[in-house]
Amino acid sequence: MIDKEKLKRRFSRNVKNYNKYANVQKKMGDNLINHIKNDNLHIKKILEIGCGTGYLTKKLINNFSSAQITAVDIAPGMIEYVKSNIKYNNVSFICGDIEEIDLSGKYDLIISNATFQWFNYLEKTIDKLIGLLNINGILCFSTFGKYTFKELGEAFNKAKNILKVSEKVSPSQSFYSSKELFDICNNINRNNLKDIEIDLLETYEYEYFNCCTDFLYSVKKIGANNSQRGRNITTPDFIKKVIDIYDRDYQKNGKVVATYHILYVYIKLIHDYKANI
Instruction: For the chain, count helices (H), then strands (E).
Output: 10, 8
Domain span at 185: 4-149+174-206+259-276
The rounded Cα 152 to chain-centroid distance in angstroms is 19
Output b/e per residue, 76-102; b: 16+ Cβ within 10 A: ebbbebbbeebeeeebebbbebbbeee
What pLDDT does 1 receive? 86
Residue 83 domain-assigned? yes
Does 242 reside within a domain?
Answer: no
Residue at 137 is within a domain: yes
**Orientation of helix 4-13 relative to helix 76-85, angle to 10°:** 40
Q: How many CB atoms lie within 10 A of CB 205?
A: 16
pLDDT 10s per residue in the chain (277 long)?
899 999 999 999 999 889 999 999 999 999 999 999 876 668 999 999 999 999 999 999 999 999 999 999 999 999 999 999 999 999 999 999 999 999 989 999 999 999 999 999 999 999 999 999 999 999 999 999 999 999 999 999 999 999 998 777 677 778 999 999 999 999 887 666 568 999 999 999 999 999 999 999 999 988 776 556 555 667 899 999 999 999 999 998 899 999 999 999 999 999 766 655 4
Residue 13 lies in a domain: yes
User: Residue 247 domain-assigned?
Assistant: no
Report the pLDDT value the prediction gives residue 101, as an integer from 0 to 100.
Answer: 96
The CATH number of whichever domain residue 67 belongs to comes to 3.40.50.150
Q: Is residue 196 part of a domain?
A: yes
Q: Considering its fold, how many domains does the chain have in total?
A: 1
* pLDDT value, residue 271: 77
3 state DSSP class of 87:
coil
Q: Taking the CA atoms of 83, 25, 73 and 7 in sequence, report the sign of the dihedral they define.
A: negative
184 located within any domain: yes
pTM of the model: 0.92
95 is a domain residue: yes
